Chains A and B, each alone.
Chain A
């Protein structure tokens, strides 16, 4: 269970969002929608524990994963709780080869080799990217990079999967595939947050969080 309580973000004294509170249970999909600059991507970074108070950034409030405050979790523990697929996959992908990218996180989480191989094969299959497994990541198109970024986070099997504009560069066949992957992932007892401007993405969500001047959540 994810609980967000009174989360607020100021950037250079400008309020990006405030009084943000919501809950997300196991098996649920939350869609986050809002205008450009309303703080959707910042929220994702905060939920993944990738945003902290700095010179120009003031983040306040609490984020709990199964009752544990994210501020008290180690990087290892955070990786088990939450995985984020970045809006721009080029900010996420760094390994030379597709398969290296996909096993990087499990290797660093000390997942056993046999289990890692199983996750790799399984994720290549469900993401429909088996044909890319021998490719260099630099050779992939934008849409293929989005699918690889998703696959790489799925191999970590986080309890909360956050995807930021995951279908923005993906063709129509693969969009349906991604929707199926996210629904199945939630059905397995995980939670999913999908940040999107696409009406079709909203259709798979159980809840909606509207970011903007009057941020509100709806079931």
Chain B
């Protein structure tokens, strides 16, 4: 999958200055992009625009050549997995297992095969012992692992992860690196917004880019 951003500008209100200014860039599947930038430069804003959570002031984004503004949210969610900077914003089910099962329950696609995949994901993401716990009683790092586990089950083409390692311990960070390397090796694309250079610059083949003054360089 290819995400093309063309001449994108964004401001939060008519009175406020542009956060993003005439930004153009192409993110391609099979690559891991590590987008750095100072606090307040617009990294999270860019992620939300790609996900359709914010509308650009001007410019456009296409997914494999298709204008993303014409793609329904449900179809967009099938292509891209988005992890919020604050994972608590995307966790709401009564238990960890229910959280992972939710997208399949809502789409009416739950079956034995998916239940089996959820069990495998619980083990892979080191959440098996917590499967009956409420996600909101988990530590922040555990919530980050759960949010990523939920996305991993959906077989998306692209991952957009906002500060995914900020609360992970060393084991969790090493797991994240190997998970992302596997994901991109299988053709998936990854965009990481983060300040965690120590962890993310270790990823094999990572493409480091900088958001500065509203544009990517």
> What is the interface of chain A, defined by CB distance below 8 A to chain B?
11, 34-37, 40-41, 87-88, 90, 139-144, 147, 165, 168-175, 197-200
Which of the segments B53-61, B91-99, B135-143 contacts the partner chain? B135-143
Across-interface contacts of B43 in A (CB, < 8 A): 141
Q: Which residue of A lies closest to B137 (CB)?
A: A11
- Given the interface contacts A36-B169, A165-B166, does A199 sit within 8 Å of B198 by beta carbon? yes
Q: Judge whether B37 is part of the interface by a CB distance below 8 angstroms.
A: yes
CA distance A34 to B141 in the complex (A): 11
B167 & A143 in contact (Cβ 8 Å cutoff): no
B86 & A170 in contact (Cβ 8 Å cutoff): no
* Cβ contact of B140, chosen from A34, A142, A165, cutoff 8 A: A165
Across-interface contacts of A197 in B (CB, < 8 A): 141, 167-170, 173
- Given the interface contacts A35-B171, A165-B167, does A41 sit within 8 Å of B40 by beta carbon? no
CA distance A135 to B29 in the complex (A): 38
| Smallest CB separation, B96 vs chain A (Å) | 12
B40 & A141 in contact (Cβ 8 Å cutoff): yes
B39 & A174 in contact (Cβ 8 Å cutoff): yes
CA distance A138 to B198 in the complex (A): 29
| Smallest CB separation, A166 vs chain B (Å) | 11
Q: Mark B1-30, 1 if CB is under 8 A from A, else 0.
A: 000000000001000100000000000000
B139 & A36 in contact (Cβ 8 Å cutoff): yes
Q: How large is the interface on B (under 10, 10 to 19, 20 to 34, 35 or more residues)?
A: 35 or more
Across-interface contacts of B39 in A (CB, < 8 A): 141-144, 147, 169-171, 174
A139 & B138 in contact (Cβ 8 Å cutoff): no
A140 & B141 in contact (Cβ 8 Å cutoff): no
A171 & B138 in contact (Cβ 8 Å cutoff): no
Across-interface contacts of A88 in B (CB, < 8 A): 86, 88, 140
* Cβ contact of B169, chosen from A11, A34, A174, cutoff 8 A: A34
15 more contacts with CB within 8 A, not counting A36-B140, A141-B43, are A35-B171, A36-B172, A37-B138, A37-B139, A40-B139, A41-B139, A41-B140, A88-B86, A141-B40, A143-B195, A165-B166, A171-B37, A171-B38, A174-B38, A174-B39
CA distance A87 to B168 in the complex (A): 12
21 A-B residue pairs with Cβ-Cβ distance under 8 Å, sorted by A, are A34-B169, A35-B169, A35-B171, A36-B140, A36-B169, A87-B167, A88-B140, A90-B86, A141-B41, A142-B39, A142-B85, A147-B39, A168-B166, A168-B195, A168-B196, A169-B85, A169-B166, A171-B39, A173-B38, A175-B195, A197-B170
Across-interface contacts of A199 in B (CB, < 8 A): 198
CA distance A142 to B43 in the complex (A): 10
Across-interface contacts of B138 in A (CB, < 8 A): 37
A36 & B141 in contact (Cβ 8 Å cutoff): yes
Q: Which residue of B lies closest to A212 (CB)?
A: B169
Q: Which residue of B lies closest to A140 (CB)?
A: B40
Across-interface contacts of A87 in B (CB, < 8 A): 140, 167
CA distance A173 to B37 in the complex (A): 11
CA distance A40 to B88 in the complex (A): 18
Across-interface contacts of A165 in B (CB, < 8 A): 140, 166-167
Across-interface contacts of B139 in A (CB, < 8 A): 36-37, 40-41
Q: Which residue of B lies closest to A145 (CB)?
A: B39
- Given the interface contacts A11-B137, A141-B40, A143-B40, does A172 sit within 8 Å of B168 by beta carbon? no
* Cβ contact of B195, chosen from A11, A139, A172, cutoff 8 A: A172
A169 & B40 in contact (Cβ 8 Å cutoff): no
